């Protein structure tokens, strides 16, 4: 298995972890990738060892702490199966009801965009018979 795949798999599907690690290893020597991959093959986790990753994750959580509704909405994503599409319309309806957000979904959509911009969720547009927007957590 190539080193890049080993590193990504060890990020446990966390977009923020992948982004931080990719940034820190970008344009770095082959030997560093090899060293990280070797550590990972021995059971060492990037999530346990990267102070930069932990610092950035803490900053993200601090931002969410500043807004209780954003934090609750992020936590709600854990209610859905991992790596499954979540229709944004369902989230908007759910959050509007739970957190007394506007009925038009403007506030809920702003939260979706915020989580996407923070790499805590991935918003994608899927085309079926009608256009829908889904979110991945």
Q: Residue ranges per domain, the chain?
A: 3-59, 67-136
DSSP state of 14: -
Alpha carbons 90 and 92: distance in angstroms, whole number:
5
Residue 5 has pLDDT above 60, yes or no: yes
Q: Where are the beta strands (DSSP E) in 58-117?
A: 86-87
Mean pLDDT throughout 114-135?
69
Residue 46 has pLDDT above 70, yes or no: no
- Is the pTM here over 0.85, yes or no? no
Residue 124 CB neighbour total at 10 angstroms: 12
Q: For residues 36 and 61, is the Cβ–Cβ distance under 8 A? A: no
Mean pLDDT throughout 122-134?
62
Number of H helices, E strands in the chain: 8, 3
Between 92 and 19, residue with greater pLDDT: 92
* pLDDT at residue 69, as a whole number: 92
């Amino acid at each position: 298995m190539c080193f890049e795949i080993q590193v990504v798999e060890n990020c446990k599907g966390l977009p923020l972890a992948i982004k931080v690690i990719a940034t820190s290893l970008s344009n770095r020597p082959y030997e560093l990738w090899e060293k990280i991959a070797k550590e990972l093959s021995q059971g060492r986790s990037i999530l346990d060892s990267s102070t930069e990753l932990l610092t950035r994750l803490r900053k993200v959580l601090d931002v969410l702490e500043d807004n209780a509704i954003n934090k609750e909405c992020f936590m709600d994503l854990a209610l859905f199966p991992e790596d499954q599409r979540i229709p944004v319309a369902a989230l908007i309806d759910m959050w509007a009801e739970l957190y007394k957000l506007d009925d038009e979904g403007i506030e809920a959509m702003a939260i979706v965009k915020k989580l996407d911009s923070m790499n805590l969720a991935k918003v994608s547009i899927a085309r079926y018979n009608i256009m829908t927007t889904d979110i991945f957590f």
